[in-house]
């Protein structure tokens, strides 16, 4: 029994040393990535600590990954995005898409609701990246730099995809309404 306990302690010490060697040196990169996205040092520090806990809990499986650094950065990115989502209003699409001046009659309101439903449908038909970008920019109100930080794409690529998505939706909407 004593031999088994010594073996367990030895394995635990090896896991701790491996964790210290592979994960702890990445702390600076982890913090910088998180701070760049959330733009708040306190939140970034919390996210890094949460990432360390998550990585510690999976320490026995870390050797299954070819690139542990990529795994670490993906975990930090995902935790950071989760933190941003909790700060933003929830829901599939905000109801503020409806522009209500208080003077619309029921027919105009119905027409506007149909237009919003049509645009939502058209957005759903876009490629996944364009769908994500247009929702983040035009629906959720993220800035180009924030979207670039979250998606990992360059700001210019975000602008191009946003422009293409808007153009495609505009063309399809006009075609559906016979205005082309």
Q: Mind listing the pLDDT tens digit for each residue in 83-141?
A: 888 775 544 444 444 455 556 778 888 888 888 888 888 888 888 888 888 888 887 78
- For the chain, the domains span 2-87, 95-176
Q: Find the radius of gyration of the CA atoms of the chain.
A: 24
Q: Mind listing the pLDDT tens digit for each residue in 10-22?
A: 445 657 777 788 8
pTM of this structure = 0.46
Q: Mind listing the pLDDT tens digit for each residue in 26-46?
A: 999 999 988 888 888 888 999
Residue from 35, 21, 17 nearest 69 by CA? 21
Q: Can you tell me the distance from the alpha carbon of 109 to that of 98, in angstroms, rounded to the nearest whole number? A: 9
Q: Mind listing the pLDDT tens digit for each residue in 49-94?
A: 999 888 888 888 878 888 888 889 999 998 988 888 877 554 444 4
The pLDDT value recorded for residue 148 is 84
**CATH 1.20.1440.230 holds for 95-176:** no
Fold of 2-87: Rna Polymerase Sigma Factor; Chain: A (1.10.1740)
Q: Can you tell me the distance from the alpha carbon of 6 to that of 119, in angstroms, rounded to the nearest whole number? A: 65
């Amino acid at each position: 029994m004593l031999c088994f306990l010594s073996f367990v302690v030895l394995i635990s010490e090896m896991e701790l040393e491996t964790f210290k060697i592979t994960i702890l040196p990445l702390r600076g990169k982890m913090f910088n990535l998180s701070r760049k996205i959330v733009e708040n040092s306190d939140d970034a520090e919390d996210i890094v600590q949460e990432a360390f806990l998550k990585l510690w809990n999976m320490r026995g499986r870390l050797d299954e990954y070819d690139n542990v650094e990529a795994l670490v950065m993906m975990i930090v990115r995902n935790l950071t995005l989760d933190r941003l989502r909790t700060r933003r209003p929830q829901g599939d699409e905000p109801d503020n898409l409806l522009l209500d001046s208080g003077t619309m009659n029921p027919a105009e309101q119905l027409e506007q609701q149909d237009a919003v439903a049509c645009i939502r449908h058209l957005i759903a038909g876009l490629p996944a990246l364009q769908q994500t970008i247009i929702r983040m920019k035009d629906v959720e109100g993220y800035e180009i730099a924030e979207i670039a930080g979250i998606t990992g794409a360059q700001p210019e690529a975000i602008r191009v995809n946003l422009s293409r998505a808007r153009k495609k939706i505009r063309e399809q909407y006009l075609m559906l309404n016979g205005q082309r």
